Amino acid sequence: MTLYGVPLSPFVRKVLLVAHELDITLDTIEVPPHSDDPDFRRISVTGRIPAFSDGSIELVDSSGISRYLIMQADSDLMGGQDPRRQAQIVGWERFADDDLAPALTDVFIERVVKPVRLGQPTDESVVEVALQRKLPPVWGRLERLLTVGGAWLVDGEFSYADLVLGTHLASAELARALPNESDYPSIVSWHRRIQSRAAYSSMMESV
């Protein structure tokens, strides 16, 4: 099985986290978005990463690829046969990908992608806007959501929902933009729990 993309992308990291959690080894071909690698572009018409192939099966989108890996492995990570659990996991993925990820984009680009990948300086004014205005409402919402549950997001049991939140908190960790413990204790303790998983450490080593 081959994964195309770079682990700086939270969506590529999501698939890596799933693979590590399931003990699946993926061959990775490091291509940035819009690479003209012909195999990558055949699969990813939009040029977005990640793309994936398993023999003749070719997939795009981190959600679809993750679902494929989890179902192939006959794992319950996606909520098993329980409709409520499955639905709640989808809800967490929407929050993580659609609300949290966009709020983190600017600070991640400025503090990680520009200096590390592009050799460009960080624009601190963009970082300030992200830290002061974009992130606090989303951290506030996440803190409230986390206060309700147990150790893990859905029924206190580890699931794919934890992996999707984990990949985006990894962006915050890499960008030194995690929220502070006094205002957001539930986020910080949840982050410590995901950090203690071997899959999270393995994923972080590849970044």
Ligand X SMILES: N[C@@H](CCC(=O)N[C@@H](CS)C(=O)NCC(=O)O)C(=O)O
Tell me which stretch binds ligand X (CB under 6 A): 20-28, 59-67, 68-76, 134-142.
59-67
Closest CA to 14 of 165, 192, 194, 142: 165
Segment interacting with ligand X (CB under 6 A) among 43-51, 69-77, 113-121, 141-149: 43-51
SS3 36: coil
Among 9, 28, 167, 171, binds ligand X (CB under 6 A): 9
Q: Which residue, 31 or 127, has its beta carbon nearer to ligand X?
A: 31
| 63 lies in the site for ligand X, by CB under 6 A | yes
Give the position of tokens 């502070």: 180
Give yes or no for residue 40 binding ligand X (CB under 6 A): no
CA distance 99 to 141: 10
CB of 36 to ligand X, least distance (A): 14
Strands 27-29 and 2-4: parallel
Residue 33 near ligand X by CB under 6 A: yes
Q: Which is nearer to ligand X, 49 or 103 (CB)?
A: 49
Instruction: Point out which span in 61-69, 128-136, 148-156, 167-175 binds ligand X (CB under 6 A).
Output: 61-69
- Facing residues of 46 across strands? none
* 15 CB neighbour count, 10 Å cutoff: 32
62 binds ligand X (CB under 6 A): yes
Q: What span, in angstroms and rounded, lies between the C-alpha atoms of 144 and 7? A: 29
48 binds ligand X (CB under 6 A): yes
Q: Annotate 88-142 with DSSP letters as a single string.
A: HHHHHHHIIIIIIHHHHHHHHIIIIIIIIII-----HHHHHHIIIIIHHHHHHHH
CB of 52 to ligand X, least distance (A): 10
Choose the stretch contacting ligand X; rule: CB under 6 A; options: 48-56, 125-133, 136-144, 159-167: 48-56
Give the footprint of ligand X on this chain (CB under 6 A): 9, 11, 33, 47-50, 61-63
